[in-house]
Structures are given as C-alpha cells and as structure tokens.
Amino acid sequence: MKFELKPTKGKEASVYKTIYLKEKLAVQIEAIAKANNTSFNNVVVSMIESCLEEEPPTI
C-alpha cells in the first residue's frame, strides 16, 4: 500500500491518544519522518488517513 504524506495542517480539532507499537515499526516510521523532514505523528496520521480513504472500515 502506498500512501502520501499530508502537509502539516493548521490547528484543527484533535484528540490525544496513546498507542503501543513494535519497536521495529517505530524505527521504520521514524526513518520515513526523517527522510521527509516531518514528524513521526504526521507519518502515522497520513498512513491512517490513506488506509481509511482506500477502504472505509465496516462497522
């Protein structure tokens, strides 16, 4: 799955959540963030948004 990093947006209503990641996954995300001069959070949010746009969850 390919995703596109979203530009950092202005202030938008947000919530604070804590997640636990495998260390290997966190290292990979940090590398993507560093390579694209953006934050870890922006990479994670971009990935989630990309996945949800491709296939909305069935609830």
Query: The pTM is what?
Result: 0.74
Report whether pLDDT(58) > 80: no
Nearest to 1 by CA among 50, 38, 39, 42: 50
In which domain, by residue range, is 36 found? 23-54
Position 47 in a domain: yes
Residue 9: predicted pLDDT: 65
Three-class secondary structure of residue 42 per DSSP: helix
8 A C-beta contact, residue 6 and residue 49: yes
**Domain contains 59:** no
CA distance 45 to 39: 10
Residue 50 pLDDT greater than 80, yes or no: yes
Q: What average pLDDT does the segment 23-37 reach?
A: 97
Question: Bigger pLDDT: 1 or 32?
Answer: 32
Give a yes or no: residue 28 inside a domain.
yes
